[in-house]
């Protein structure tokens, strides 16, 4: 009796010990379900390629259905032969080779269910070029027939195609993690486990089958690409002034870039170098006395949506036609000439440091070219040159000025660029067009030339002493600060300059145009306006302003005087009342109408020269975009474990039955 009781007691004691030990271990390791999930899954940082639509179809990337895609991570090699669905890890220098093979090898492409792109910044200097845009970007909008001309020789056109599998650009840290995982998978060919990528990239257009802009807008599964452009006058235009309106000189730049990867649209050279140059020009001219006494009015405009059918410039011209509140104070008939600051960040990468002036027509722009050369002469430097673009070029390069020329073929305009017949930027509209791709000295030089040129042009051919021009100087420190704020995550939008004006929603800048939220308005709800647009608005409003007479006015409600507005209100909730002519202009397709909280595609208007070519770009709605990696067991191994589990269960049952019979017999004997 004593031996039997002791046996049972020991079994119970051991069971209780192991159970308590296991429970204690689990409690210490996982305090919550998220803790358990973190131990199982590795979250991967990256930038997705998303689904975009137009009137004729779709481009970009998405999972083919509603379910997540799960596949082993495999390193892409040119000789790859895939036997199972795989998520390919590819370097930037092999990216185009991969997609070329996908287009010709049906068996290979059938097994590719996802693509992971290494960040590739370390390969940038060795690359001949990487541009997913076309060789003639937006050729359909050009005011001349020469669509085969190659402004962008490195262009592959990859960003304009549709892919029914997810494509992610990895961050630097995630690139290292995935390289290690791919190597581990290569070494595990006989192992029972494998590391897989789990792609959650589901577009709502996939669910409803709305495969073009018109149908997805009707079903409300997408939103139009667009945002808010900004324009400002220096000095301010006082609407009630009895003075006769002056002829206007309009200086423009763009603030949006494109890329295959939505939130990795940096656009350092194209077009943000031009934007930074324009902001530096406004800053320099704002410190010059007597601008109000000049013969012409200076106006500055920064457009968004230019990478997607020149949305900003085209909408700006339509608003001028309609005399809307967004352009109150402007008159298209008074715009005498347009000077566009294009890509100027690589102006010092050539031996002779030359900027090129691309003009609408020679006779109309001779005055502008002369002003540019006079401005350069006043700088007294032999290291910088201004040259007229080659006459063999078919016309203007891709630029906002094309919209003005389409509107009025007699427009007098010049685009200042860092190239002549082909882009010097070999990373045009790619994630590699980053801060390392430009030279701040080139931006300062371009801004210096433009600022002095504008003063010369606004003086209307009056003789100007070099002593006056020498007072117009670009703040090189401001340019450096803008580069850090607008083109780098450190400091990014957390920089002092940006935080002086707005409370940004993110720290890392991206210059993707985004989508139009809510009803377009000249006085939009600021929550629907992107960080860059809000910063540009506040910066221009501040720099072009004259102080308000009533300095004690509460801001913004107290800014009720003629031409008064509130700047810097986001930073402390108070702001400052100033007199400035700075406006938001909605930027979206001229073939769209917002009514009753829905978007409608309008028929082509014959008076809209570019409307027929307008693709009406939209972005599919999506809930979450996630990428993670985890380890799974091989199916064969799972079956083996199942069989072993069943065997252990059966053996345990037999042992229990035998033990029970033995114990019962022993108890009866006692």
Q: Which comes out higher in pLDDT, residue 299 or 641?
A: 299
Q: Does the structure show a pLDDT above 50 at 12?
A: no
pLDDT at 337: 94
Percent of the chain with pLDDT over 70: 89
529-549 pLDDT tens trace: 999 999 999 999 999 998 877
pLDDT at 669: 65
Percent of the chain with pLDDT over 90: 67
Q: What average pLDDT does this structure show over 495-506?
A: 95
565-583 pLDDT tens trace: 899 989 877 888 899 999 9
CA 80 to CA 326: how far, in whole Å?
56
Q: Burial of 142 by CB count in 10 Å (0-12 exposed, 13-18 middle, 19+ buried)?
A: buried
pLDDT at 22: 41
DSSP E strands, 395-457: 413-417
Please report which confidence band the pLDDT of residue 13 belongs to, taking 50, 70 and 90 as the band edges: very low
pLDDT at 10: 38
Q: Could you write out the DSSP letters of every residue in 588-626?
A: S-TTEEEETTEEEEPPPPTT-TTGGG----EEE--S-EE
Closest CA to 398 of 313, 320, 477, 512: 313
438-477 pLDDT tens trace: 999 999 999 999 999 999 999 976 778 777 899 999 999 9
Q: Does the structure show a pLDDT above 50 at 21?
A: no
Q: Burial of 70 by CB count in 10 Å (0-12 exposed, 13-18 middle, 19+ buried)?
A: middle
Q: pTM for this structure?
A: 0.89
Mean pLDDT, the chain, integer: 88
pLDDT at 389: 94
Place of tokens 């917002």: 594
Closest CA to 600 of 312, 214, 225: 214
157-177 pLDDT tens trace: 999 999 999 999 999 899 999
Q: Which comes out higher in pLDDT, residue 632 or 86?
A: 86
Q: What average pLDDT does this structure show over 109-121?
A: 90
């Amino acid at each position: 009796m004593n031996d039997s009781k002791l046996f049972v007691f020991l079994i119970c004691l051991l069971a209780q010990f192991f159970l308590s030990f296991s429970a204690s271990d689990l409690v210490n390791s996982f305090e919550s379900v998220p803790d358990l999930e973190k131990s199982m899954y590795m979250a991967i940082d990256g930038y997705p390629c998303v689904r975009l639509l137009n009137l004729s179809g779709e481009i970009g990337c998405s999972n083919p259905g509603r379910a997540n895609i799960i596949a082993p991570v495999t390193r892409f090699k040119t000789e790859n032969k895939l036997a199972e669905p795989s998520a390919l890890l590819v370097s930037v220098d092999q990216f185009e080779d991969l997609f070329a093979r996908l287009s010709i090898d049906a068996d290979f492409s059938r097994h590719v269910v996802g693509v992971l792109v290494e960040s590739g910044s370390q390969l940038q200097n060795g690359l001949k070029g990487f541009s997913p845009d076309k060789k003639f970007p937006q050729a359909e909008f050009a005011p001349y027939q020469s669509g085969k001309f190659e402004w962008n020789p490195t262009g592959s056109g990859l960003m304009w195609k549709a892919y029914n599998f997810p494509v992610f650009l990895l961050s630097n840290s995630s690139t290292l993690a995935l390289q290690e995982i791919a190597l581990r998978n290569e070494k595990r060919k006989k192992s029972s486990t494998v590391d897989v990528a789990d792609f959650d990239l589901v577009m709502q257009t996939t669910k409803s089958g709305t495969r073009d802009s018109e149908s997805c807008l009707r079903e409300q599964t997408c939103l139009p690409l667009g945002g808010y452009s900004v324009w400002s006058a220096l000095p301010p235009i006082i609407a009630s002034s009895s003075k006769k309106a002056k002829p206007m000189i309009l200086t423009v730049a763009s603030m949006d870039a494109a890329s295959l990867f939505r939130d990795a649209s940096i656009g350092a050279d194209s077009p943000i170098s031009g934007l930074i140059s324009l902001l530096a020009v406004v800053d320099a001219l704002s410190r010059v006395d007597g601008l109000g006494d000049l013969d012409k009015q200076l106006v500055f405009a920064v457009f968004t949506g230019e990478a997607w059918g020149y949305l900003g410039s085209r909408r700006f011209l339509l608003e001028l036609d309609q005399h809307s509140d967004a352009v109150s104070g402007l008159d298209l008939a008074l715009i005498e000439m347009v000077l566009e600051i294009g890509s100027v960040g690589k102006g010092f990468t050539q031996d002779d440091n030359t900027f090129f002036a691309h003009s609408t027509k020679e006779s109309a722009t001779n005055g502008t070219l002369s002003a540019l050369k006079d401005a350069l002469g006043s700088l007294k430097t032999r290291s910088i040159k201004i040259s007229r673009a080659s006459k063999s070029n078919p016309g203007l390069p891709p630029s906002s000025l094309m919209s003005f020329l389409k509107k009025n073929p007699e427009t007098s305009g010049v685009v200042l660029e860092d190239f002549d017949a082909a882009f010097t930027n070999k990373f045009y509209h790619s994630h590699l067009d980053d801060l390392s791709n430009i030279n701040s000295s080139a931006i300062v030089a371009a801004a210096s030339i433009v600022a002095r040129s504008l003063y010369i042009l606004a003086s209307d051919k009056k003789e100007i002493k070099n002593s006056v021009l020498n007072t117009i100087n670009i703040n090189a420190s401001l340019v450096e600060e803008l580069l850090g704020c607008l083109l780098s995550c450190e400091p990014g939008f957390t920089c002092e300059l940006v935080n002086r004006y707005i409370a940004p929603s993110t720290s890392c800048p991206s210059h993707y145009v985004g989508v139009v939220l809510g009803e377009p308005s000249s006085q939009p709800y600021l929550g629907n306006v992107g960080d860059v647009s809000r910063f540009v608005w506040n910066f221009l409003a501040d720099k072009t302003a004259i102080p308000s007479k009533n300095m004690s006015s509460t801001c913004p409600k107290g800014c009720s005087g003629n031409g008064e507005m509130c700047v810097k209100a986001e930073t402390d909730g108070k702001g400052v009342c100033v007199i400035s002519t700075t406006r938001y202009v909605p930027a979206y397709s001229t073939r769209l109408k917002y009514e009753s909280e829905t978007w409608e595609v309008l028929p082509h208007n014959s008076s809209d020269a570019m409307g027929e070519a307008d693709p009406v770009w939209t972005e599919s709605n999506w809930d979450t975009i996630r990428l993670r990696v985890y380890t799974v067991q091989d199916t064969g191994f799972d079956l083996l474990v199942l069989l072993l589990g069943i065997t252990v269960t059966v053996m345990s049952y037999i042992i229990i039955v035998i033990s029970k019979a033995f114990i019962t017999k022993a108890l009866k004997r006692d």
